Amino acid sequence: MSIHPLDPVQALERMMLIRAYEETLIDLHGRGRAAGTCTSVGQEAAAVGVVSALTADDLILTNHRSAGHLLARGADPGRMLAEVMGKRDGYCGGKSGSLHISAKDLGVVLTSTIVGGELALATGVGLSRRMLGKPGIVACFFGDGAATEGRFQESLNLAAVWTLPILYVCENNQWQAFVHRKETMLADGIAGHAAALGVESAVVDGNDPLAMFDAASAAIDSIRRTGKPFLLEAMTYRLRGHFEPDDQAYVDRTELSHWRDRDPILCLRTRLEREGRLDAEGIAAIESRVRATMEAATAFADASPYPGLDALTTDVYA
């Protein structure tokens, strides 16, 4: 058995933590204690695979399904929950909510809820890396919905022309809010668009964290070597609805069932069990740690006070 630089057991635990975080949030929302949220359930492998391939110097811009990226980066689930609940100890003092969490200390510059907004800013973050001579690349996560926005073309084009160190990660989850991708684009994927703009790309099984890690590592090597941007397209699926709560009544049951069988957590766990790297006891230990982490996170968020009302008009201007 070869040793993979991304420890698959650790990757599984991180993916399970992301899943548990989002399930906690859905539960809190159901009990009226947190606002609704856009989850990344089913997309944990892409988040963990790509973010694990980044270094501390690299910066991240992401979109409204950002919990996976933040937690993969090492964000504290308690501070994230506090943010979504509008509490003072949230990453943004409760002013962001679930849709726009940024965390400067973790190099997360932006979570954009305007689809494609992250693509528009990524070029500037890449430019500052380049101009200021700082190490590190910029990872920009977006979905297939953003790839049908004009900003996608504008962003990749400028990044290519100016040779900006940007890893574009399209998490092609097949859904654009309430519209299936096949209603809005004829191409099977978006990697082909990149070629026309002079941007190299690769298409990866987005439900396999090890494949994502390998592809991201190769892409980052290419960016460091050539200075040029690179597009990684992760083929994956949004297993829950657009915005909680969402009964997914509009989703084709056969398609959903097909992808549920390919649930990245289920697949990795089965694989590790088959390879003899995890047994029932090992799984139980991970589940127990994740549960304890989320219980502590929830307690922290519950205990955090709401911001003072004077915060209403602070931080508007520098």
Partner 1 sequence: MTTMTVNDAISAALAEEMQRDPTVMIFGEGVATKRRDLLERFGATRVRNTPLAEGIIAGTAAGAAATGLRPVVDLLFAPFLCYAMDEIVNSAGKLRYISGGQFSFPMVVLAMTGAGWGVGAQHNHNVESWFVHSPGLKIVMPSTPADFKGLMKSAIRDDNPVLVFADIALGYSAGEVPEEADAIPLGKAAVRREGRDVTLVSYAKTVGTCMAAADTLAGAGIDAEVIDLRSLKPLDEDAILRSVAKTGRLVVVHEASRLCGVGAEIAALVAEKAFASLRAPVLRLTGPDAPAPASFPLEQAFVPQADAIVAAVRSQMGG
- Please give the residue ranges that form the binding site for partner 1 (CB under 8 A): 59, 61, 90-96, 100, 102-104, 109-110, 112, 114, 117, 119-129, 131-132, 134, 150-151, 154-155, 157-158, 161-162, 314-318
Tokens 């962003």 locate to 155
Cross-strand partners of 170: 142, 233
Q: How far apart are CA 231 and CA 179, in angstroms?
A: 23
Q: Pick between residue 36 and residue 124 the one whose CB is nearest to partner 1.
A: 124
CA 96 to chain centre: 17
Nearer to partner 1, 120 or 265 (CB): 120
Q: Which is nearer to partner 1, 157 or 217 (CB)?
A: 157
State which residue, 130 or 262, has the beta carbon closest to partner 1: 130
Pairing type for strands 179-180 and 175-176 reads: antiparallel
Smallest gap, in angstroms, from Cβ of residue 85 to partner 1?
14
Residue 314 CB coordination number (10 Å): 11
Q: How far is the CB of 150 from partner 1 (least distance, A)?
A: 7
Closer residue to partner 1 in complex, CB, 148/207? 148
For residue 4, the SS3 value is coil
Give min distance, CB of 69 to partner 1, in A: 16
| C-alpha to C-alpha distance for 273 and 18, rounded to whole angstroms | 21
Half-sphere exposure (CA, 13 Å, Cβ side) for 308? Answer: 2
- Nearer CB in complex with partner 1: 16/60: 60
Residue 168 beta carbon to partner 1: minimum distance, rounded to whole angstroms: 14
| Minimum separation from the CB atom of position 111 to partner 1 (A) | 9
Query: DSSP letter at 103?
Result: B
Q: Which residues pair with 40 in a beta bridge?
A: none
Least separation, in Å, of the C-beta of 312 and partner 1?
10
Residue 298 per-residue DSSP state = H
